[in-house]
Structure 1
Amino acid sequence: MSLDEKFIPVRTAFYEIVGNFFKKIAALFGYPENPGMPTIYDPPNELYARSEFLDNLPLHQTFWPPIQRPETWFEMIFGPSPKVESVPRYIYESKQEGFYNFYIENYKNIYFLPDWLSEFIQVRLHICLDITFLETIREVLFVGLMVYSQIVILRIALSWFISINPYTFPWCYLAAAVDWTEDVLQGIVPSILGVNITGSVFLGILGVLADSLNHLIFTMPFLPSEGEATKLLINQQMKDVLVFHYLPILWYRYPIPNDIREFWYNERLDILNYMQKAYKDLDIQFLPDNIVNEWNQQKLKVELPQLYDSLIVKNTHHISDYLSTEILSKNNLTQVNEFLPNINFVNEHFNNFLMTHIDKLF
C-alpha cells in the first residue's frame, strides 16, 4: 500500500467534517428550502445561442518559432524566416452564385477590417480584386515586428553584461532604438523585486500585434459584414465557414471599376453575360465606359441626327479652324501655341461628359 492510499481515509474524513460544517451554517439561513439569489443571469435565447456558437469555434493555430522546414541553405543554417500564417481563402464559381465567391474557415480569433475602412480601400484606393499590395504590406509589418522584437531581446540581454556600456559605439544605436519604450512604459509597469520588466511587457505587446496579423482577413471585393456563417463538408468533416458570394454590395452602391468591366468585355464574356442576366433588374452598368459612350453616340446619330451634327461633329473639329487669321499671325503664334492645348483639353472633356449623360435625352 502506497503512502497516498494510506491518507485516503483521512482526506475523506476531512472533507465530510468541512461539508457538515458549511451545511450547519447554511441551515441557519433556511438551507435547503431557501434557494437564495440566482447565481447566473439568464441571457436572451438569441444572445446565448450566439455566444455558445462563438465559444464552440476552433482557434486558428499559429506557431512561433515557425515550423522548421528549411528550403534553402540560408534557412538550413540560420533557421526559416518569419512568415505570415494567414487564413486561406477558397475561391469557387457556380452558375447560381457567380464568379467571385469565396469562403474561409470560421475561427474564434480571426479579425476583419472595419466596413468603413474596407470601403475606403476599395472605392478610394481602387484595390478591389487584386489584394497583393495589402498582403505585401501585412508581410512587411509582420517581418518588421519580428525583427524589432529580436532587437529588443538583444537590448535586454545586453543590459545584463555590466562590463558593456550600452551608450558607447556601436551599442548606442541599439539603445536608441529600444530605450524609448522604457520611457513610455516605466511609469506604468512596476518593477518586480527590483527588476525592470518593461522590456518583457513590450515584447508581449509586439507578439500580440504580430500574431494578430496572422488572423487578419481581407474580404475584397466584399465588405466583412457580408459574410454568411454556414457549414460545409471539407475533407470529410463538417466545418464552420464564412461564405462571401453573389454580388458585392459596393458594386451596387458605386460603379464597378472600369478596368474590371473592360476585362469582362475583352477576355471573360461569360462573366459579363452572367452579370447582365442575373442582375438585369438593378441599375448597374456592366459594360466598359468606352463601349457605352460609343453606343450612346450611335444612338444619338440615328435618333437625333441634327443634334448630333450640332453637338458632336462641330466639337470634333480642331479649335484652330475657328480662330481668325489675325490671331494666328506670327506675332501671336507663341501665345496661341500655349493657349490651344488648354482649349482642346476642355473640348475633349466636354465631349466625354456629353457622351456619358447623353442617355438622359432618351
Structure 2
Amino acid sequence: MSLDEKFIPVRITFYEIVGNLFKKIAGFFGYPENSGMPTIYDIPDEVYVRSQFLDNLPQHRTFWPPVQRPETWFEMIVGPTPKVESVPRYIYESSQEGFYNFYIENYKNIYFLPDWLSEFIQVRLNICLDISLLETIREVLFIGLMVYSQMVILRIALSWFIYINPYTFPWCYLAAAVDWTEDVLQGIVPAILGVNITGSIFLGILGVIADSLNHLIFTMPFLPSEAEEAQLAVNDEMKNVLVFHYLPILWYRHPIPNEIREFWYNERPEILDYMQKAYGDLDIQFLPDNIIQELNQQSDLVTQATSINNHFPTQLLSNEFLTNLSFLHGHLH
C-alpha cells in the first residue's frame, strides 16, 4: 500500500467534517429550505440579443511594434516610425442620401467623442468637413506617447546599471522628465520582492492611451449618435457597418458654415440644388451670406421704387421715368 492510499481515509474524514460544519452553519440561515439568492436571473430577449451582437463583432487589431515596411533609407536603418492605424472612413455620394455620406466597419473596441464635445468642435471651433487638423493632433499625440514610452524604458534600463549616476549630465534631463511618475505612483503601486514596478505600470498606462487613439473615430459633420447599424457587402463579404448619411443634425440646429455654403454656390451647384430640393421645407439657409445680402438689397430697392410709385402724383412722373421704373422693377423681380 502506497503512502497516498494510506491517507485516503484521512482525506475523506476531513471532507466529511468540513461538509457537516458548513451544513450546520447554513442551518442557522434556513438551509435547506432557504435556497439563497438565484444564481441566474431572466434576461430580456432584446438585451440578450444585443449583447450577443456586440460580442460577435470583430476587433480592430493593431500591431506593436509596427509592421516593418520601410519607405526611406532612414526607416530602413533605424526602423519605421510609429503611425496611427485608424479605422478608415468610406465616403460615398447618392442621389437619395446626399453628398456627405460615409460608413465605417463596426468593431467592438472603437471609440467616439461624446456628442457635446463633437458639437463644440464643429460649432465653436468651426471644424466641420475638413478633419485634417484633428488627424494631425492625434498623430502628434500618438508619436509623443510612443517617444515618451521609450524614454521611460531607457530610464528603467539606467536604474539597473549601478555605475551610471542618472543625476549627472546628460542623464539628469531624462531623470527629470520621468522620475515624477514614480513620485506619483510609488505610494499607490507596491514593490514586488523589493523591485519597483511603477515604471512598468506607467508603461502599460501609456500603451493603453496610445492604442485607444488608433480606435478613435471622428464623425464630422455628423454626431456619433447619428450612426445607423447596417450590413453591407465589402469585398464580397457581408460586414456590420455604421452608416452616417442624409442631413447632419447640427446643420439643422445651427447655421451651416458660410464657407461651405459658398463652396456649394461657387463650385458645386449640384449640392446646393440637392439641398434646396430635399430639405427646402426645413427653413435652413443654404445660400451664402453675401448672396442673401444682395437679395435683401434688391428687395429693398424694389420696395422703395414701389413706394415712390404709390405716393407721388401721376402728373409728376414722366413717361420716361415710369418706363425706367417698370424696367427696374421687372429686372429685380
| TM-score normalized by the length of structure 1 | 0.75
For 1:281, the equivalent position in structure 2 comes to 281
Matched, 1:295 2:295: yes
Distance in 2 of aligned mates of 1:263 and 1:107? 34
For 1:206, the equivalent position in structure 2 comes to 206
Distance in 1 of aligned mates of 2:86 and 2:155? 30
For 2:304, the equivalent position in structure 1 comes to 304
Q: What is the identity, as a one-letter code, of the residue corresponding to 2:155?
A: R
Give the C-alpha shift of residue 83 in structure 1.
0.1
Q: What is the identity, as a one-letter code, of the residue corresponding to 1:117?
A: L
For 1:251, the equivalent position in structure 2 comes to 251
Matched, 1:105 2:105: yes
Residue aligned with 1:229, SS? strand
Q: Per-residue displacement from partner, 1:53-102 (whole Å, max 9, x unpaired)?
A: 11111100000000011111111111100000000000000011000000
Residue aligned with 1:281, SS? helix
Distance in 1 of aligned mates of 2:305 and 2:42? 74
Paired positions, count: 292
Residue aligned with 1:246, SS? coil
CA RMSD, 1 decimal: 2.7
Give the C-alpha shift of residue 227 in structure 1.
0.4
Matched, 1:165 2:165: yes
Distance in 2 of aligned mates of 1:255 and 1:208? 38
Distance in 2 of aligned mates of 1:198 and 1:102? 43
Distance in 2 of aligned mates of 1:52 and 1:303? 66
Q: What is the identity, as a one-letter code, of the residue corresponding to 2:115?
A: D
Distance in 1 of aligned mates of 2:123 and 2:36? 58
Taking structure 1 as reference, are residues 235 and 35 closer, same or farther at Cα in structure 2, changes over 3 Å only? farther
For 2:46, the equivalent position in structure 1 comes to 46
Distance in 1 of aligned mates of 2:41 and 2:227? 31
After the TM superposition, which parts of structure 1 deviate over 4 Å for at least 4 consecutive aligned residues?
34-37
For 1:269, the equivalent position in structure 2 comes to 269
State how 1:132-211 maps to structure 2 within 5 Å.
Answer: 132-211=132-211
Q: Per-residue displacement from partner, 1:13-45 (whole Å, max 9, x unpaired)?
A: xxxx9xxx9xx99x999xxxx997532222222
Matched, 1:227 2:227: yes
Gap regions ≥5 residues in structure 1? 1-16, 309-362
Distance in 2 of aligned mates of 1:116 and 1:43? 32
Gap regions ≥5 residues in structure 2? 1-11, 28-33, 309-333
Residue aligned with 2:136, SS? helix
Q: Per-residue displacement from partner, 1:89-117 (whole Å, max 9, x unpaired)?
A: 00000011000000000000000001011
Q: What is the identity, as a one-letter code, of the residue corresponding to 2:191?
A: S
Distance in 1 of aligned mates of 2:153 and 2:35? 55
Q: Which moved more, 1:179-188 or 1:294-303?
A: 294-303
Q: Per-residue displacement from partner, 1:263-314 (whole Å, max 9, x unpaired)?
A: 0000101100000000011000101111111111112211333779xxxxxx
Residue aligned with 1:99, SS? strand
Residue aligned with 2:282, SS? coil
Distance in 2 of aligned mates of 1:178 and 1:35? 56
| TM-score normalized by the length of structure 2 | 0.82
Taking structure 1 as reference, are residues 262 and 307 closer, same or farther at Cα in structure 2, changes over 3 Å only? farther
Q: Per-residue displacement from partner, 1:119-175 (whole Å, max 9, x unpaired)?
A: 010001000000000000000000000000000000000000000000011110000
Distance in 1 of aligned mates of 2:287 and 2:304? 23
For 1:121, the equivalent position in structure 2 comes to 121
- Percent identical pairs in the alignment equals 81
Taking structure 1 as reference, are residues 108 and 137 closer, same or farther at Cα in structure 2, changes over 3 Å only? same
Distance in 1 of aligned mates of 2:170 and 2:270? 63
Distance in 2 of aligned mates of 1:210 and 1:40? 38
Distance in 2 of aligned mates of 1:40 and 1:239? 33
Q: What is the identity, as a one-letter code, of the residue corresponding to 2:107?
A: Y
Q: Per-residue displacement from partner, 1:177-202 (whole Å, max 9, x unpaired)?
A: 00000000000000000000000000
Give the C-alpha shift of residue 207 in structure 1.
0.2
Q: What is the identity, as a one-letter code, of the residue corresponding to 2:66?
A: P
